[in-house]
Amino acid sequence: MATNPIQAPAQGRDPSTLGPRVPRLGLDPLLTLAAIGLGILSLVTLDGISHAQMVRQGVYLGGGLVVMLVISRFDYSRLRELKWGLYVILIAAILVVLGIGHSVGGSTRSIGVSVFSFEGSEVGKVVLIVFLAAFVVDSSRKTSSRQLVARVMLLALAPTMLVIAEPDLGSGLVYVAAAFAILYIAGVDWRHLTAVFVLGVAALAIVLIVGPLVGFHTYQADRLTAFLDPGAVPAKQISKALYQQRESVIAIGAGQKFGLGTVATNTAANFVPLNSTDFIFAALAERFGFAGAAFVLSLYALIIWRTLRIVAAAKNLFGALVAAGVVAMLLFQVFVNVGVTVDILPVTGVTLPLLSYGGSSVLTTFLALGLLQSIYAQARIAAGAKGRVLSI
Amino acid sequence: MIEAPLQRRAPLPPQLTRRVGVLSVVTLALFGILAFRLWYLQVLTGPQNAQEATANVVQNIPTPAPRGNILDAGGNLLATYRNATQVAIVKDDLPARGPLREALYKRLGHVLGIGWRTIRATVDDQQVAPPGYAPTAITYISSDRELAYLAERKRYYPGVVERSVPVRYYPQRDIGSIVLGQVGQITGPSPNGVRGELGTPAFSGVAAGSIVGQAGLEAQYQPYLQGIPGQDKVEINSSGYPTGAQGSPIPPTQGDQLGTSLNLGLEREGYVAMREAMSAARAIHNPATAASFVAMNPMTGRIYGLGSLPTYDANAFATGVSTSAYRQILDSGSLNDRAINGQYPTGSTFKPITALAALSAGVITPQTLAGAGTTYTVGSGAAAQSFRNSGGANYGNKDLVGALAVSEDTYFYPLGKALNGDGTDLALQNQARSLGLGSSPGVDLPGGGDAGVVPDYRYVAAVNKADWAQFCQGPQGTIGARPKPAYATKQLAINGCAQGQFDYWTVGQNIQLATGQGFLLATPLQMAVAYSAIFNGGTVWSPKIATQILSPSGQVVQQLPPPAVADKVSWNAADRAAVIAGLRAAAQGAGGTSDAVFGNFPRPVYGKTGTAQHAGQKDQSWYVAYAPDAKRPIVIAVTIEQGGFGAAAAAPAVRLMLSQWFGIKKQFIAGTNPDL
C-alpha cells in the first residue's frame, strides 16, 4: 500500500469526508444492467409467442426488480440466525405439496396444487442456499472437513429427494449443485467432495440404468436412455422428449448468424413445445441468430463473473458461501437449460433464469440477485469502514 | 484486520481466491462448450437446419371430401352438400394444458354457446381425434356475428381456427329423413370395450375424425358416398393460423352419387298424406300417434317411396347435434323407421292371405258361400269362444269375392278353424311365411327390415316358457306356482302362474290369425311385399331402394344388383283371380269397405282395409292397395297407429298418394266402414 502514491494521502483523511466516494448502500451496476437486459430480451422474445404471456412476464419482472431492491437494502448476515426456521419451512412446504398431491391422486393433480408445488421447489433453491451457507459457517470450526461434507450433503439431500419425487428433477439437481459449490468455497478437502460426487453418480446410475432393467421405469430414465440411444426406448415413451430437442435444434439452427427476426416461425408456431418456458432459448436463438444467442450467453457470463467477484469480496464467509451457492444455481441452470435446447444434455426441466416465462422462476432469480446485491453493498460498507477502497 | 465478533468465528478460508479461480475456469469452459455448440448449429450447419425448418412449417392438413349426392329416380337431390363455416381446434396450437387452456375453452364456449367441458371432451377424445396439427371440429357457426367476433380476436383464441367445410345437406329437410339416414363423426372404441366403427371393414381407409354415414342409405352405401379427403399444404404463421396455401393442395374428391328408385313427388306426398290422415283421425278423437308408408313396384321389387312419422329434420345431424336436441329427436320416436321396423298386427289386410291358404288347402272354393250370422262360436260349454263381426253386422252368406269386399269376419273365422287342423297344421302360417311374413325382407337399409311374427303352436310355447321363467317361481307347468315377488301384484302373472301357463295355442289363436289379429306382427314393408306377390303372380321380392352408383359428374359407374327373388309362390289361377276380384270389389265395388274412398277414383284400384286392435289403445288403421299400370304399377301400404278404422285414415292417405302418382286431382275422402 505504501507504494501506492494515490492512496497515501487518504490515510490521514477524516472518515466523514469519504461519504460521497463510498455510498452507504449501492447496487452492482453491471449485475443490475445484465439482469435488466435479460429481462428485456425475455419480453421481446415472448412477444413473438404470446402477447398475454409477455404482459404477465413484464409484471413478474417488475415485481422481481422491486424484490431485489428491497432485499439489497438489508444486511443478509441477519439471515444466519434464522437458518433452522428456513430449513423447517422449506421441508414443510415441500411435504405439504407432496401430501396434497398424493391425496388428489398422481396424474390428476389439481392445477392449484401443481402451481404451488412448482413455486415451492423453485423458491426453495434460494432458501436452501441460505440455510446451507449458514450451517457451514456455524459448524466449520467445530467439525472436521469430512463430517462437514457428510452433514451438509445429508441436509441437502432431504429436500432434493422430496422435490425429485414431486417430480421436479431439475430443481433437485440445482440443490445438489449449490451444496457442492458452497462446500467447495468453504474450503473443505476436495477429495471428500470428489468422493461424494462419485457416490452420487453411482446412485444416479443405479436409479436410471439398473432400475429399468429390473422393471422400475421412471420418465427420467426413459429420457436419459432416449438421449443416449434413441433406438432403445419404445417410440411412444421417448417421442415427446426427443421431438422437443429435434425441433429445438432445427429452430436454433434456422436462426443462422443473425436470426430470422419476426419471421421466425418454428418456435412461435409451437413446433417447439414449451417455447416460452424451458425452450425459450430456442425461440430467442431462432429469432436473433448466433449473434443474439452469443449476446445472451455473454450477459449470463457477465452475471456469473460479477457473482464470483462478490464471492471473493464478501465481508464474511456467510456472504461468500451464499454468493457461491447462487453462482452454482445460475451456472447450472444456464448450462443445463441451454445444453438441453442445443441437444447436448437430456431433457431435465430447468428454467432459464430471467428469460423463461414464469413468475416463480423470475422471483427466485431476483431473490438470489437481491442477496448478491446485499452482499455487494455490505462488502462496500465494510471496506469503507475500514477506510479502504473496495475494487469490485 | 478488525472484524466484528460474528465474523471472527469463521474467517474467509485462505484458499478462497484459488477456488474462486477454479470456478471461473469451470464457468469459462461450460460457456465455451455452449458457444461452440451454438456456432456449430447456427453458423456451420445453419443453412441445412434452415431448410429443415421451412419444411417444418408446411403441414399437410386433411380437407374433408363432400359426400356423394343421393338422387331420386328422376335425378332430384335427396341429399347433397353445402359449405359451412366450421370452428375447429388445432390441438398443437392450444395453450398448455391447465388454467390457460381451460380459460380459452370457456371464452370459446361462451361465444359459441356450448359448454366448455364439451369442447374439452371433443378435443381430448383420443380415440377419434385426428393428429395434433390437424383441426378437430368443434361446431359450426351459424351467424356472421360469431364469425366476425372470433376473426377480430384471433390473438385471444390461439389454436382456434375457422374453415369452410362441406357438410351434408338434405334439401327435403324432414321428408324421407329416416330412409336417407344420418351422418356423424366416426366412432372409435369406447371405454366399455365396444369396438366402434373406426377400422372396421365397412369403414376401411376412413381416418379418425371423419364424418361418415351412420344410418339409413348413408350407412348402407357408406363406402360409395364417402369420397376421398384432400390435403391442404399450409404454412403456419406465428399465431398458428394458416397464412395461405403453399405448394399445390390436393383437392378432395367428392363421393359417388347414389341413384335410387325413390320418387321425390311421391315421397313428399306420402308425408303430406300421412299428416292429413292423422289430423283427420284426431278430429274424430283418435290420437293418431304415428304413421308409415311403403310404396313399391310390384313387378320389379323397386321401392318408390318409404316414410315414417313422426319425423325429424335430417339436417340436424349434418352439423353435429347437441345432446338435448338429440334427446328430443330420440324421445319423439323419429329415429324408428316404422315402415320397415314397425311390427304390428295387420288386421283385415291379412284376409287375402287367409283366403289363398284356404283355397290352396281346398277348404273352400271361390264359390263357397258362408258367413251368415253375427257371431262365430267354437267349442262348447265353458270352453266356448265367440268371435263377432265388426259392429255386430250380419252380412249373410257370401262367396269369397263378396266376403273380401265387405271384409266379413264370420266368413274367415271358420277358415282359421279349418286350417288349424289338430293344432299342428301350419297351412295358414306357411302361406303367410311364403309371402315374406315372419322373416326380414332384406331391403337395402341397415338391418334389412324387421322379421315380425307369424305365430304357431311352437311360437306360443316358446313365449309361454319365457314368460314363465320371467314371472313364476317353480318349474314350468306347475299349477299353483307362485309369481316372483317383483311381479306378484300383476294380475297377468298371478293368473298365469296359478294356472300353470300363460297362453297356449288354441284354435282360437288360429281364428284370430285368420283376421290378422292375435300374436301376428308384420311391418308395412312386409305387407307391401306380400300384396306385390299376389298381384305379380307369386314373386316375393327382397326389395331394393338403390339402383346405381354414379360418378360426381353423373356417369354411371356401377349398376347395383336388382331386387332379389326371395320366394316364388304358385296358386291355382282361378283362386288368385277370385282374391284379386275380391280386393277390387272391396276398393271400388258397391258396398266395398273402401268404396267410399275409391269409388269415384278414375283408375282401377285393388285394396284392403285393416283395423288392428291393441289392448288399451285406439284401433290401428291399415290400408294396402295396388293400382295397375303398364309402366308404373304400384303397391302402397299405409298404417296409422291409433288412427281408427282403415277406411277412415289409411285409405284416404293411399288415395292422395295414388292421385300424386297418376297425376289426378288430390282429394282427401275418408270412409266410415267399421271393418276390422
Instruction: Kindly state whether A262 is in contact with chain B, defined as any CB-CB distance less than 8 angstroms.
Output: yes
Q: What's the pLDDT at A2?
A: 44
Contacts with B14 from chain A: Cβ below 8 Å: 187
Contacts with A255 from chain B: Cβ below 8 Å: 42, 46
Contacts with A262 from chain B: Cβ below 8 Å: 238
Q: What's the pLDDT at B659?
A: 96
pLDDT above 80 for A261: no
Q: How confident is residue B79, by pLDDT bands cut at 50, 70 and 90?
A: very high
pLDDT above 50 for B297: yes
Number of cross-chain residue pairs from A and B with Cβ atoms under 8 Å apart: 164
CA distance A319 to chain B (A): 10
Per-residue pLDDT, averaged over B44-68, amounts to 73
CB contact under 8 Å between A342 and B38, yes or no, is yes
The residue among A231 and B668 whose pLDDT is bigger is B668
The residue among A365 and A2 whose pLDDT is bigger is A365
Q: What's the pLDDT at A108?
A: 32
CA distance A317 to chain B (A): 5
CB contact under 8 Å between A256 and B42, yes or no, is yes
Q: How confident is residue A273, by pLDDT bands cut at 50, 70 and 90?
A: low
Q: What's the pLDDT at A52?
A: 81
Burial of B495 (0-12, 13-18, 19+ CB in 10 A): exposed
Contacts with A113 from chain B: Cβ below 8 Å: none
Nearest by CB to residue A251, choosing from B14, B26, B53, is B53
Q: What's the pLDDT at A112?
A: 45
User: Is 0.90 topped by the overall pTM?
Assistant: no
Residue B371 Ramachandran class (φ > 0 left, ψ -120 to 50 alpha, else beta):
left
Give the E-state strand segments of A226-357 in sequence order: none
For residue range B521-568, list pLDDT tens digits in order. 999 999 999 999 999 999 999 999 999 999 999 999 999 999 999 999
* A window 180-209, beta carbon within 8 A of B: 181, 184-187
Q: What's the pLDDT at B48?
A: 74
pLDDT above 90 for A124: no
- Mean pLDDT of all residues in chain B? 87
* A window 297-326, beta carbon within 8 A of B: 297, 300-301, 304-305, 308, 311-312, 314-318, 320, 324
CA distance B206 to chain A (A): 23
Q: What's the pLDDT at B247?
A: 61
Q: How confident is residue B474, by pLDDT bands cut at 50, 70 and 90?
A: confident
Taking the C-alpha atoms of residue A296 and residue A42, their distance in angstroms, rounded to an integer, is 10
Per-residue pLDDT, averaged over B238-267, amounts to 78
* A window 223-242, beta carbon within 8 A of B: none
Q: Is the preceding peptide bond at B475 cis, omega within 30 degrees of 0?
A: no
Q: What's the pLDDT at B127?
A: 54
Q: Are B227 and B66 in contact (CB under 8 A)?
A: yes
CB contact under 8 Å between A266 and B30, yes or no, is no
For residue range B561-615, list pLDDT tens digits in order. 999 999 999 999 999 999 999 999 999 998 899 999 999 999 999 999 999 988 8
Radius of gyration of chain A (CA): 22
Look at strands B211-213 and B564-568 and give their pairing: unpaired
pLDDT above 60 for A370: yes
The residue among A292 and A382 whose pLDDT is bigger is A292
Taking the C-alpha atoms of residue B217 and residue B306, their distance in angstroms, rounded to an integer, is 12
pLDDT above 70 for B133: no
Per-residue pLDDT, averaged over B170-197, amounts to 84
pLDDT above 50 for A70: yes
Q: What's the pLDDT at B236?
A: 56
Q: How confident is residue B280, by pLDDT bands cut at 50, 70 and 90?
A: very high
Coil, strand or helix: which one is B327? helix
Look at strands B290-296 and B303-309 and give their pairing: antiparallel
Q: What's the pLDDT at A67?
A: 92
Q: What's the pLDDT at B382?
A: 77
CA distance B35 to chain A (A): 7
For residue range B308-365, list pLDDT tens digits in order. 999 999 888 888 777 788 899 889 899 999 999 999 999 999 999 999 999 999 999 9
CA distance A214 to chain B (A): 31
By C-alpha distance, the chain A residue nearest B59 is A271
Contacts with B2 from chain A: Cβ below 8 Å: 386
CB contact under 8 Å between B12 and A318, yes or no, is no
Q: What's the pLDDT at A237?
A: 42
Angle (CA) B356 B359 B364, round 5°: 135
Look at strands B375-378 and B211-213 and give their pairing: unpaired
CB contact under 8 Å between B238 and A256, yes or no, is no
As given in the structure block, the three cell numbers for residue A121 are: 421447489
Tell me what percent of the residues of chain B surpass a pLDDT of 90.
53
Q: What's the pLDDT at A9?
A: 43
Least confident of A242-246, B163-167, B279-283: A242-246
Residue B244 Ramachandran class (φ > 0 left, ψ -120 to 50 alpha, else beta):
left
Least confident of A106-110, A226-230, B175-179: A106-110
Nearest by CB to residue A141, choosing from B10, B17, B155, is B10
All structural domains of chain B:
62-260 (3.90.1310.10), 264-346+536-543+571-662 (3.30.450.330), 348-514 (3.40.710)
Nearest by CB to residue B46, choosing from A51, A247, A256, is A256
Q: How confident is residue A258, by pLDDT bands cut at 50, 70 and 90?
A: confident
Nearest by CB to residue B6, choosing from A50, A77, A339, is A77
By C-alpha distance, the chain A residue nearest B19 is A185
For residue range A205-245, list pLDDT tens digits in order. 776 666 556 555 555 565 665 565 554 444 444 445 566 77
Look at strands B160-169 and B211-213 and give their pairing: unpaired
By C-alpha distance, the chain A residue nearest B241 is A269
CB contact under 8 Å between A305 and B30, yes or no, is no
Q: Are B86 and B272 in contact (CB under 8 A)?
A: no
Q: What's the pLDDT at B9?
A: 42
The most confident of the ranges A102-116, A162-176, A236-250, B350-364 is B350-364
Instruction: Kindly state whether A294 is in contact with chain B, defined as any CB-CB distance less than 8 angstroms.
Output: yes
Coil, strand or helix: which one is A63? helix
Q: What's the pLDDT at A1?
A: 40
Q: What's the pLDDT at A111?
A: 36
Distance of CA B314 to the CA centre of its chain: 11
Contacts with A317 from chain B: Cβ below 8 Å: 7, 10-13
CA distance A212 to chain B (A): 28
Look at strands B257-260 and B70-71 and give their pairing: parallel
pLDDT above 80 for A48: no
The secondary structure of B268-317, three-state, reads: HHHHHHHHHHHHHHHHCCCCCCEEEEEEECCCCCEEEEEEEECCCCCHHH
For residue range B371-392, list pLDDT tens digits in order. 888 899 888 777 788 888 887 8
* A window 11-70, beta carbon within 8 A of B: 48-52
Burial of B641 (0-12, 13-18, 19+ CB in 10 A): buried
Half-sphere exposure of A349 (CA within 13 A, CB side): 19
Instruction: Kindly state whether A178 is in contact with chain B, defined as any CB-CB distance less than 8 angstroms.
Output: no
Nearest by CB to residue B38, choosing from A52, A266, A290, is A290
Q: What's the pLDDT at A233?
A: 44
Per-residue pLDDT, averaged over A360-369, amounts to 92
Per-residue pLDDT, averaged over A381-392, amounts to 64
CB contact under 8 Å between B45 and A320, yes or no, is no
Q: What's the pLDDT at B399?
A: 94
Q: What's the pLDDT at A387?
A: 56
By C-alpha distance, the chain B residue nearest A265 is B238
Taking the C-alpha atoms of residue A97 and residue B58, their distance in angstroms, rounded to an integer, is 43
Q: How confident is residue B366, by pLDDT bands cut at 50, 70 and 90?
A: very high
Residue B97: count other Cβ atoms within 10 Å of its Cβ: 11
Q: What's the pLDDT at B7?
A: 41
Residue A216: count other Cβ atoms within 10 Å of its Cβ: 10
For residue range B98-130, list pLDDT tens digits in order. 788 888 888 888 888 888 888 888 887 655 555
Taking the C-alpha atoms of residue A251 and residue B215, their distance in angstroms, rounded to an integer, is 48
Q: Is the preceding peptide bond at B352 cis, omega within 30 degrees of 0?
A: no
Q: Are B298 and B633 in contact (CB under 8 A)?
A: yes
